[in-house]
């Protein structure tokens, strides 16, 4: 149930209303918007009549039931407003959200060596990317396929972070590994195969780092939102949803079917930021640019794209990985497309911008 207070409700009254909810065993969660305060009441509110709520205070403007099974994730829970997920990286703060610049997360499927990930990170940083992705723990269909370099790969990601300041996005597959991954990652990825691993969802919900939740390959949109609800209910409000393709009947020409309709549908249902991964969504590098741009047109808030310095030699997901050169061109193309749709691509880092400006006039770059 959602309780919207009138604009200008005095702070003391807000506190009193909060206490009244507690007295009635209704667990309130307060969110403060630019002009209004909204309470979400969680728990069994089925027997609570809106008229009883209105009696609590004359400052209560509106009482509304949330009919969806996902409560905290629903757009009503934030009174129709999108929420923002704030992540600090070595280069500053990045804000994921519908009214924020579009963020790019790029990097190889797997972290293959320290040199490979540090070099790739440096190139990506120069292209204006703020987040480096790379798997240390890899969920593979076959137990005989490369499983990731685990803890060593986490150390290599830490080196890449130190060398570039890029934020780190990496997958955690097991509750036992959460502590180790949290040490290095700025965003914890929950992969498609683990979307309904409820113990893992509760565990990442009980720590503070942002969570990137990928849609399971046979998950409905409601399944995805209910999985997000687990993380939110465990106390972590920083969840980003990712559409990465679902299983349909064609596996000959594409690996998955990228469900771009999920973007506007999710937008209408949830306040959480939305990401698209066109790499797993198509499984083929040649289709990635078109779908990345289509995702921007569909209104996505961020994109995750697999990029490898030598896709032919990649230990996993080479066929869907873009080369650094192709990705660089795609960044320019995406920038044009996002401007067209009134959305700015995240700002390239300041050093790179200054470097370009100054290279026209002088060879000396001032230190910043
Ligand atoms: C990945 O990001 O490399 C990955 C394994 O993704 P997904 O869980 O979507 O398959
Ligand atoms: Mn992959």
Q: What ligand 1 atom has the least distance to the C-alpha of 304? A: 2
**In this model, does residue 350 exceed pLDDT 80?**
no
For the chain, give every domain's residue range: 2-65, 85-364
Fold of 85-364: TIM Barrel (3.20.20)
Q: Backbone phi, then psi, for 63, in 5-degree steps?
A: -125, 130
Q: What is the CATH number of domain 2-65?
A: 3.30.70.1140
**Sorting pLDDT into bands at 50, 70 and 90, what band is 27?**
confident
Where is 104: in which H helix or E strand?
Answer: strand 103-107
Neighbours of 356 (CB within 10 A): 10
- Rounded to an integer, the average pLDDT of 44-51 is 86
Question: Angle at Cα 26 formed by Cα 21 and Cα 31, nearest 5°?
Answer: 70
Closest ligand, as measured to the CA of 256: 1
Where is 89: in which H helix or E strand?
Answer: strand 85-89
Q: How remote is the C-alpha of 103 from its chain's centroid?
A: 9
Q: Compute, in degrees rounded to 10, the torsion defined by CA atoms 77, 78, 79, 83.
A: -150
Report the half-sphere exposure of 101 (CA within 13 A, side-chain side).
15
Span 311-325, pLDDT tens digits: 999 999 999 999 999
> How far apart are the C-alpha atoms of 273 and 96, rounded to whole Å?
6
Share in percent of the chain as helix, strand, coil (round to 5): 40, 20, 40
**In this model, does residue 285 exceed pLDDT 70?**
yes
The token duo for 311 is 């896709």
Pocket test for ligand 1, best of 172, 189, 227 (most atoms within 8 A of CB): 189
- Rounded to an integer, the average pLDDT of 350-364 is 44
Q: What ligand 1 atom has the least distance to the C-alpha of 193? A: 8
- Rounded to an integer, the average pLDDT of 266-280 is 98
Say which residues have a Cβ less than 8 Å from residue 219's Cβ, sequence separation at least 6. Answer: 192, 195, 196, 227, 246
Pick the range with the lowest mean pLDDT from 17-31, 125-139, 263-277, 296-310. 17-31
- The mean pLDDT value of the chain amounts to 92
**Nearest residue by C-alpha to atom 1 in ligand 1:** 109
**Sorting pLDDT into bands at 50, 70 and 90, what band is 348?**
low
Q: What ligand 1 atom has the least distance to the C-alpha of 317? A: 3
Distance (Å) of CA 60 to CA 38, 197, 199: 10, 39, 38
Span 96-141, pLDDT tens digits: 999 999 999 999 999 999 999 999 999 999 999 999 999 999 999 9
Span 193-215, pLDDT tens digits: 999 999 999 999 999 999 999 99
**Sorting pLDDT into bands at 50, 70 and 90, what band is 26?**
confident
């Amino acid at each position: 149930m959602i309780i919207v207070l009138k604009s200008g409700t005095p702070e003391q009254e807000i506190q009193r209303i909060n206490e009244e909810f507690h007295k009635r065993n209704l667990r309130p969660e307060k969110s403060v918007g630019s002009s209004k305060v909204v309470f979400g009441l969680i728990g069994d509110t089925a027997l609570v009549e809106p008229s009883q709520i209105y009696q609590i205070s004359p400052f209560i403007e509106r009482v509304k039931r949330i009919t969806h099974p996902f409560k905290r994730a629903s757009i009503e829970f934030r009174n129709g407003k999108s929420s923002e997920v704030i992540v600090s990286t070595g280069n500053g703060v990045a804000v994921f959200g519908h009214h924020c610049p579009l963020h790019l997360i790029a990097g190889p499927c797997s972290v293959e060596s320290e040199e490979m990930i540090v070099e790739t990170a440096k190139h990506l940083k120069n292209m204006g990317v703020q987040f480096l992705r790379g798997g240390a723990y890899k969920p593979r269909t076959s137990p005989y396929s490369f499983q990731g370099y685990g803890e060593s790969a986490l150390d290599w990601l830490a080196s890449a972070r130190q060398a570039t300041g890029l934020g780190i996005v990496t997958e955690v597959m097991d509750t036992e590994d959460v502590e180790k991954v949290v040490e290095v990652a700025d965003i914890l990825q929950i992969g498609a195969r683990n979307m309904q691993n409820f113990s893992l969802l509760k565990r990442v919900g009980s720590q503070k780092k942002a969570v990137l939740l990928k849609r399971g390959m046979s998950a409905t949109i409601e399944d995805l939102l209910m999985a997000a609800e687990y993380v939110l209910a465990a106390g972590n409000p920083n969840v980003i949803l990712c559409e990465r393709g679902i299983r349909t009947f064609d596996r000959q020409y594409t690996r998955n079917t990228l469900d771009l309709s999920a973007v506007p549908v999710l937008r209408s249902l949830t306040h959480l930021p939305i990401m698209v991964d066109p790499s797993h969504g198509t499984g083929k590098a040649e289709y990635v640019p078109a779908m990345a741009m289509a995702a921007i047109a569909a209104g996505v808030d961020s994109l995750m794209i697999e990029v490898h310095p030598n896709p032919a030699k990649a230990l996993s997901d080479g066929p869907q990985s873009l080369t650094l050169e192709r990705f660089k061109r795609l960044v320019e193309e995406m920038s044009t497309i996002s401007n067209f749709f009134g959305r700015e691509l995240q700002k390239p880092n300041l050093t790179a911008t200054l470097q370009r400006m100054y290279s026209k006039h002088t060879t000396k770059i001032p230190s910043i």
